[in-house]
């Protein structure tokens, strides 16, 4: 049986919860040197070595969610407004929060000034030729997501058919894979090229109907192609095949994940992702300065998770609702045929 939308969303939250925990563990316990974290020992958490792969889970889930959303959207403007309402309020809040931390604490090599921060907040760096340091290095993922929204949104509303849009995106992904074989420089598409296949997997999983073995075969083929030609997955091919398979199964399994702790974490995963890195590392450094090295990671995790919960409850949810309602009442009603 095809899972109900509510159950699908619970599955999505579960995967987001797993993905964000992977990423947080990676950054807090493996990514930075003990010297940078101001530790007096060489402590690492070996299990977190591949935690960066949580981002790949996000991309697959994103492809699935965009397919779920776009088929219920009437036009590109409405789609863009809903995407803006989904990401910008939390992005603005988390960006400003990080800039405030920079005003009071040191994070060598990673601070940005308020002008650069402002250029981040208006997405100036998405314009070809303009380069600004990210408020937080992890924001690179958001730019990849934005490009996916723009390109796939345009494709879908040209054809107004999900099957055709996925076919076009498949061709796009294959071309990018071919380019990656011969060059790493794909100009404006360079940031999205390693991940186009992952978005495609999510799109195709959503679009699977019954026992469509051709689609399952194509998903496997595309995933294999991306894994074996992309340096990102070098020496980790088996791990990523397993990770992709598990992600696909969770997206399709009809299980009620209600009240699952990971699903609750998944609800606030976007804000936590935007807040956890620079702010969390600042907290870890400051706690380590005081000599409480055994507690710094725990305190950083709890603190950034609490901030993410505030962002979700007070910023993400109400602002998303208000922006969409404003669009529906003040823009779409003016000329619903075109908006």
> Contact, 133 vs 125, CB < 8 A?
no
The secondary structure of the chain, three-state, reads CCCCHHHHHHHHHHHHHHHHHHHHHHHHHHHCCCCCCCCCCCCCCHHHCCHHHHHHHHHHHHHHHHHHHHCCCCCHHHHHHHHHHHHHHHHHHHHHHHHHHHHHCCCCCCCCCHHHHHHHHCCHHHCCCCCCCCCCHHHHHHHHHHHHHHHHHHHHHHHCCHHHHHHHHHHHHHHHHHHHHHCCCCHHHCCCCCCHHHHHHHHHHHHCCCCCHHHHHHHHHHHHHHHHHCHHHCCCHHHHHHHHHHHHHHHHCCCCCCCCHHHHHHHCHHHHHHHHHHHHHHHHHHHHHCCCCCCHHHHHHHHHHHHHHHHHHHHHHHHHHHHHHHHHHHHHCCCCCCC
Is 339 contained in some domain? Answer: no
Lowest-confidence pick of 41-55, 82-96, 210-224, 233-247 = 210-224
Higher-confidence residue: 9 or 124? 124
> Contact, 296 vs 284, CB < 8 A?
yes
Is 338 contained in some domain? Answer: no
Mean pLDDT of 189-203: 82
* pLDDT of residue 261 exceeding 70: yes
Q: Identify the pLDDT of residue 333.
A: 60
Is 85 contained in some domain? Answer: yes
* pLDDT of residue 7 exceeding 50: no
Mean pLDDT of 153-162: 95
Counting the structural domains of the chain, the total is: 1
- Predicted model pTM: 0.90
For the chain, give the mean pLDDT.
Answer: 87
Domain that holds residue 105: 5-331
Is 337 contained in some domain? Answer: no
Is 336 contained in some domain? Answer: no
* pLDDT of residue 285 exceeding 50: yes
Q: Identify the pLDDT of residue 335.
A: 55
Is 289 contained in some domain? Answer: yes
- Give the pLDDT confidence of 14-44 residue by residue, as tens digits: 999 999 999 999 999 999 999 999 999 988 8
Is 229 contained in some domain? Answer: yes
Task: Tell me what percent of the residues of the chain surpass a pLDDT of 90.
Answer: 61
Mean pLDDT of 165-180: 83
Task: Tell me what percent of the residues of the chain surpass a pLDDT of 70.
Answer: 87
Is 173 contained in some domain? Answer: yes
* pLDDT of residue 293 exceeding 60: yes
Q: Identify the pLDDT of residue 216.
A: 67
């Amino acid at each position: 049986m095809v899972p109900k939308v509510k159950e699908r969303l619970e599955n999505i939250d579960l995967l987001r919860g797993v993905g964000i925990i992977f990423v947080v563990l990676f950054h807090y316990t493996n990514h930075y040197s003990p010297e940078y974290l101001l530790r007096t020992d060489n402590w690492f958490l070996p299990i977190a070595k591949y935690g960066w792969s949580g981002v790949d889970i996000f991309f697959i889930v994103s492809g699935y969610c965009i397919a779920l959303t776009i088929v219920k959207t009437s036009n590109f403007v409405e789609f863009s407004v809903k995407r803006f309402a989904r990401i910008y309020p939390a992005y603005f809040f988390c960006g400003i929060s990080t800039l405030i931390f920079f005003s009071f604490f040191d994070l060598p090599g990673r601070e940005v000034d308020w002008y650069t921060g402002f250029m981040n907040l208006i997405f100036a760096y998405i314009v070809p030729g303009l380069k600004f340091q990210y408020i937080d290095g992890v924001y690179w993922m958001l730019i990849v997501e934005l490009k996916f929204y723009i390109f796939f949104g345009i494709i879908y509303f040209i054809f107004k058919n999900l099957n055709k849009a996925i076919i076009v995106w498949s061709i796009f992904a294959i071309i990018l894979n071919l380019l990656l074989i011969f060059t790493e420089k794909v100009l404006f598409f360079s940031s999205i090229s390693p991940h186009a296949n992952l978005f495609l997997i999510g799109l195709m999983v959503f679009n699977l109907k019954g026992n469509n073995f051709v689609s399952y075969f194509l998903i496997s083929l595309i995933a294999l192609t991306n894994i074996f030609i992309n340096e990102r997955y070098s020496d980790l091919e088996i791990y990523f095949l397993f990770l992709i398979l598990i992600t696909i199964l969770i997206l399709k399994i009809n299980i009620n994940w209600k009240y699952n702790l990971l699903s609750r974490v998944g609800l606030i995963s976007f804000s936590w992702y935007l807040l956890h890195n620079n702010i969390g590392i600042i907290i870890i450094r400051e706690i380590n300065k005081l000599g409480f090295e055994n507690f710094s990671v725990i305190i950083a995790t709890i603190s950034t998770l609490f901030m993410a919960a505030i962002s979700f409850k007070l910023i993400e949810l109400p602002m998303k609702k208000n922006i969409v309602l404003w669009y529906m009442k003040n823009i779409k009603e003016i000329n619903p045929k075109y908006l």
